[in-house]
């Protein structure tokens, strides 16, 4: 085979691969114009306000100099590659406060639930170390940061700030900043990630405002930074768990602490005392006494991701979709699921008796309406259902979802 023929075949299969992958997404963003949109904001702004199932936006490699705001629930923003799909913007919080815009003070502003950011680099390119300069801000819950790089030399890089029912999952990320640069309210589970502190101050901040059981669990993470950086601090009640973590030799011999002020009027309520827990953590160089094991082996099971969220959310893998009820309404079939689901179009099911049901309405809900051209009775709705055409998946934010071939009927 000559070089020209090989190149043509290579380009064909490369293009076929990109097109095949693109068919799995609801929108494709490409700065060079090869996608359905040239900017991420354009793709997000074109999601209908009434759209209530998962909407997946694929972002091709490129540099996107823009701030974005996510207002729709169930949005996934997936980059082509972690290092080469870059969203950046230059802004201090003080600059935004002087000239407020709708997007918000961060590079990525999340005002919705069940959001996934994956395979991206997000950077605030302002250059002042320690000044408030947000990279990701979220007021929503069930937010996932997966395989991302969050870059910033300012403070408060990541603010996950729903203080009513906030649940957050961070996996395989590199997080940079200064002064409380990962700031969490509610419950968070952070694993397999790297922290880098650009100032000799605390990295991780937690606030348990409304529930004494709220906590941040950090597992298998590495902490590094400038000389004498320290692990974290807090102003309100907080609860920290560190499991299988590694600390750089540059970390100061300074435990996590409750920040107070000389003027007592500036101090926040503090009811539950110091709650800092460690298991199997190690530091390069000389060890420090304050991170020795103080978690009982028998309690480790409660520190899984699912248990951190009290089984209200399974970020790694959503609960299996099942049918909880099904009935006939005139010439329609109504099926009740155990959770809200996202459905591709077209979508059909086959009953255990071999009847075909065609999806009609209910996208993004847990009650779905189907039509059929066949005579059907209640007996046809017994047993499991087969996915005959299309795809169905949980709408709630999660990382892994297997293609479902059979939906178990539990009614």
Contact by Cβ (8 Å): 55, 72:
yes
Question: What is the model's pTM?
Answer: 0.92
Asked if 298 and 327 sit in the same domain, the reply is: no
7: in domain: no
99: in domain: yes
Asked if 218 and 260 sit in the same domain, the reply is: yes
Asked if 241 and 103 sit in the same domain, the reply is: yes
Asked if 338 and 201 sit in the same domain, the reply is: no
Pairing of β 406-409 and β 385-389: antiparallel
**Exposed (0-12), middle (13-18) or buried (19+): which is 102, by Cβ within 10 Å?**
exposed
Asked if 370 and 241 sit in the same domain, the reply is: no
317: in domain: no
Asked if 338 and 258 sit in the same domain, the reply is: no
Contact by Cβ (8 Å): 246, 226:
no
1: in domain: no
Q: How many domains does the chain have?
A: 2
Asked if 167 and 273 sit in the same domain, the reply is: yes
pLDDT tens per residue, the chain (411 residues)? 444 443 433 333 333 333 334 447 999 999 999 999 999 999 999 999 888 899 999 999 999 999 999 999 999 999 999 999 999 999 999 999 999 999 999 999 999 999 999 999 999 999 999 999 999 999 999 999 999 999 999 999 999 999 888 999 999 999 999 999 999 999 999 999 999 999 999 999 999 988 899 999 999 999 999 999 999 999 999 999 999 999 999 999 999 999 999 998 899 889 999 999 999 999 999 999 999 999 987 677 778 898 999 999 999 998 899 999 999 998 899 999 999 999 998 999 999 999 999 999 999 999 999 999 999 999 999 999 999 999 999 999 999 877 789 999 998
333 token code pair: 């079939």
Q: Give the CATH number, domain containing residue 61.
A: 2.160.20.10
Asked if 241 and 280 sit in the same domain, the reply is: yes
2: in domain: no
37: in domain: yes
Asked if 402 and 256 sit in the same domain, the reply is: no
Pairing of β 367-371 and β 356-361: antiparallel
Asked if 255 and 368 sit in the same domain, the reply is: no
Q: Which domain holds residue 268?
A: 26-308
Q: Give the CATH number, domain containing residue 383.
A: 2.60.40
């Amino acid at each position: 085979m000559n070089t020209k023929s090989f190149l043509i075949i290579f380009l064909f299969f490369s293009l076929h691969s990109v097109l095949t992958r693109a068919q799995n997404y609801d929108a494709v963003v490409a700065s060079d114009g090869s996608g359905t949109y040239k900017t991420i904001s354009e793709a997000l702004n074109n999601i209908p306000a009434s759209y209530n199932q998962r909407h997946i936006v694929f972002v091709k490699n490129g540099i996107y100099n823009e701030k974005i705001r996510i207002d729709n629930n169930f949005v996934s923003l997936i980059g082509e590659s972690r290092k080469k799909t870059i969203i950046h913007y230059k802004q201090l919080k003080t600059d935004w406060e002087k000239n407020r815009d709708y997007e918000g003070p961060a590079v990525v502003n999340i005002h919705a639930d069940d959001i996934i950011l994956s395979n991206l680099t997000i950077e605030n390119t302002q250059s002042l170390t320690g000044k408030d300069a947000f990279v990701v801000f979220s007021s929503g819950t069930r937010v996932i940061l997966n395989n991302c790089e969050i870059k910033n030399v300012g403070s408060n890089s990541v603010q996950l700030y729903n203080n009513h029912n906030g649940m957050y999952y961070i996996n395989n990320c590199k997080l940079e900043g200064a002064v409380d640069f990962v700031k969490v309210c509610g419950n968070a589970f952070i694993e397999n990630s790297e922290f880098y502190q650009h100032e000799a101050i605390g990295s991780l901040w937690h606030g348990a405002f409304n529930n004494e059981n709220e906590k941040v669990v950090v597992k298998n993470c590495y902490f590094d930074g400038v000389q004498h950086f320290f692990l974290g601090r807090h102003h309100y009640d907080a609860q920290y768990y560190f499991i299988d973590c590694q600390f750089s030799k540059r970390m100061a011999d300074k435990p996590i602490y409750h920040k107070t002020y000389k003027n007592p009027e500036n101090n926040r309520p503090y009811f539950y005392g110091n709650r800092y827990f460690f298991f199997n953590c190690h530091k390069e160089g000389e060890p420090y006494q304050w991170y020795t094991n103080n978690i009982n082996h028998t309690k480790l099971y409660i520190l899984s991701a699912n248990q951190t969220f009290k089984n209200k959310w399974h970020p790694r893998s959503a609960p299996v979709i099942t049918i909880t009820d099904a009935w006939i309404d005139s010439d329609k079939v109504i099926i009740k699921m155990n959770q809200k689901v996202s459905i591709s179009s077209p979508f059909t099911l086959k009953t255990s008796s071999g009847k075909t049901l065609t999806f009609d309405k209910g996208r993004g809900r847990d009650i779905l309406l189907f039509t059929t051209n066949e005579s059907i009775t209640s007996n046809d709705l017994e047993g499991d259902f087969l996915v005959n055409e299309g795809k169905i998946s949980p709408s709630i934010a999660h990382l892994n979802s297997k293609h479902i071939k059979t939906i178990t009927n539990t009614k």
